[in-house]
Amino acid sequence: MLEVKGVVKRFGGLVALNKVSLSVKEREFLGLIGPNGSGKTTLFNVITGYYRPEEGRVYYRGDDITGLRPHLIVKKGIARTFQIPKPFGRLTVLENVMSAAMYGRKAASRSEAKEIAMDWLEYVRLKEKADVEAKALNIVERKLMELARALSTGPDLLLLDELVAGLNPSEMMEVVKLVRKLVDERGLTIIMVEHVMKAVMSISDRVFVLHRGAKLAEGSPQEVSRDPKVIEAYLGEPIQV
Ligand SMILES: Nc1ncnc2c1ncn2[C@@H]1O[C@H](COP(=O)(O)OP(=O)(O)O)[C@@H](O)[C@H]1O
Ligand SMILES: [Mg+2]
């Protein structure tokens, strides 16, 4: 479904992504992990057209989408959440989510957008907050709204950037279940960046590890969590999955 081939992204002298290649199959759940600064968000920014890579290509369902602008990437059926949610603070939650449906994959009419937005707000259990100003939401609610917003664009491929960071363990497992159901019941494909190992390892079909802008390891959660390279660079100790 998605193929990233030999992507290089530099910021001045810093090589944030150094020939990264990664592929994802339809309806797969890929966990993307690695230390802070290893290039995870930059990779999302390259896939979604925020940055054009200096080298390499990104293919989506056979089309070369390298460097296509973000508003055109979303039309292809790719959406993402942001590590730091930036809602339109003075719009309501519903209006925030509706705007994603109106400027998403299809340009939904106002009434269609409202229906789409309410459905996803219900899915993420934020329906009661629909008429509240977005700036009044707490961090957990902001994250859920961010998720509803991405879903309302109508994606087939969804990129989640530290969605559960900042949630307590029970909230986290709830959100993890919601997200896994998007693959199992709605047929989406997901790449999830996450530091909470319990979440990533329990939810992912496959895990890809970035370190200093390059691939360190890739494999099943079991393989990756026992890999000495991954333990040394990131995990610190073997973890139970
Ligand atoms: N817009 C930018 N300008 C300069 N450096 C950046 C920019 N975005 C990211 N970086 C740098 O690129 C590296 C990778 O960052 P990032 O992709 O955000 O890492 P991660 O999401 O894995 O924590 C870091 O060293 C970061 O400081
Ligand atoms: Mg990041």
Q: Whose alpha carbon is nearest atom 7 of ligand 1?
A: 11
**Statement: residue 240 has pLDDT above 90:** no
Range from 145-149, 160-164, 195-199, 225-229 carrying the lowest mean pLDDT: 195-199
User: Cα(138) to centroid of ligand 2, in Å?
Assistant: 21
CA distances from 238 to 35, 121, 208, 224 (A): 16, 38, 16, 9
Query: What pLDDT shows up at residue 182?
Result: 98
Q: Is the pLDDT of residue 237 over 90?
A: no
Q: Quick one: pLDDT at residue 232?
A: 92
Ligand 1 binding pocket includes 14 (Cβ within 6 Å): yes
Strand partners, 24: 2
The first and second tokens of residue 76, run together, are 């292809």
What's the rounded Cα separation, in Å, for the pair 82 and 143? 9
pLDDT tens readout for residues 27-83: 999 999 999 999 999 999 999 999 999 999 999 999 999 999 999 999 999 999 998
Asked if residue 169 has pLDDT above 90, the reply is no
pLDDT, tens only, 80-104: 999 888 899 999 999 999 999 999 9
Q: Is the pLDDT of residue 196 over 90?
A: no
- Residue 175's pLDDT band (boundaries 50, 70, 90)? very high
Residue whose Cα lies nearest atom 3 of ligand 1: it is 11
CA-nearest residue, atom 16 of ligand 1? 39
Predicted pLDDT of residue 165: 82
The rounded percent of the chain whose pLDDT value lies above 70 is: 100
Which tens digit of pLDDT belongs to each residue from 105-129? 999 999 999 999 999 999 999 999 9
Provide the edge-to-edge strand list for the sheet that holds 55-60.
14-24, 2-11, 55-60, 63-64
Question: Is the predicted pLDDT of residue 173 greater than 90, yes or no?
Answer: no
- If you search the block for the tokens 């530099």, which residue do you land on? 10
Q: Is 42 in the pocket of ligand 1 (CB under 6 A)?
A: yes
- Cβ-proximal residues to 5 (8 Å cutoff; 6+ apart), any chain: 21, 56, 57, 58, 59
| Segment 178-196 mean pLDDT | 96
Atom of ligand 1 nearest to the CA of 193: 21
CA-nearest residue for atom 18, ligand 1, is 41
How close is the Cα of 17 to the center of ligand 2, in Å? Answer: 13
| 1-77+156-241 CATH pick, 3.90.1640.10, 3.90.550.10, 3.40.50.300, 3.20.20.150 | 3.40.50.300
Q: Answer whether 209 contacts ligand 1 (Cβ < 6 A).
A: no
What are the domain boundaries of the chain? Answer: 1-77+156-241, 83-155
Question: Does ligand 1 have an atom closer than 6 angstroms to the CB of 34?
Answer: yes
Q: Report pLDDT for 117.
A: 98
Percent of the chain scored above 90 by pLDDT? 86
